[in-house]
Amino acid sequence: MRKTIDGNEHRESKTFSKKELAQQWHDKRLQELEYEFIHGRTLEDTIGEIIARYQDQYANSYGRSKNYDIARLLKHPIAEIPCAKLSAKHIIAHCVERNKSAKPQTVLNDVIWLRTMLRTMSATEGLIIIRASSNGQWWF
């Protein structure tokens, strides 16, 4: 990968078994470089930090149930995951763990709120959270 940003050429290379995986890495890495250039820092925030900022900015416009559901997400291991590392594997692990103590519709609410928060914060703060799946479709 070669990218020139503000007159500085940046080169990286990595080997993959499939062209599709290489393209996904390339696209993700370009987003990360652009984020670093625009914001002057790398994205090291955890999901929990993103949730907390979302609560600070938007919690007053939601009802008690949604605010409680969002706050409860902070108590689960998914809140410890760095945004840059979030994958479908983490979401699935969260759902499997939550299904042990909650009904499926409650677990679905977790995913819905998580998706809403990540999309909103991605749009308002320019975060790099959206990932491509193995079939090339985008989620979150």
Average pLDDT for 80-99: 89
Per-residue H/E/C for 116-138? HHHHHHHHHHCCCCCEECCCCCE
Check residues 14 and 135 and name the one with the higher pLDDT.
14
pLDDT tens digits, 117-134? 888 887 887 665 545 444
Q: Which of 56, 42, 126 is nearest to 85 (CA)?
A: 42
Kindly state the percentage of the chain with pLDDT values over 90.
31
- What is the pLDDT at residue 137? 44
Check residues 36 and 66 and name the one with the higher pLDDT.
66
Contact assessment for residue 83 and residue 43, using Cβ atoms and an 8 Å cutoff:
yes
Mean per-residue pLDDT over the chain, rounded: 80
- What is the pLDDT at residue 51? 92
Mapped onto helix, strand or coil, the DSSP state of residue 128 is: coil
Confidence of residue 87 (pLDDT cuts 50, 70, 90): confident
Q: Taking 80 as the threshold, does the pLDDT of residue 13 lie above it?
A: no
Confidence of residue 107 (pLDDT cuts 50, 70, 90): very high
Mapped onto helix, strand or coil, the DSSP state of residue 117 is: helix
- What is the pLDDT at residue 15? 84
- What is the pLDDT at residue 2? 66
Check residues 34 and 111 and name the one with the higher pLDDT.
111
Contact assessment for residue 82 and residue 35, using Cβ atoms and an 8 Å cutoff:
no
- Give me the sign of the Cα torsion angle 127, 133, 137, 140: negative
Spans of all domains in the chain: 2-42, 47-125
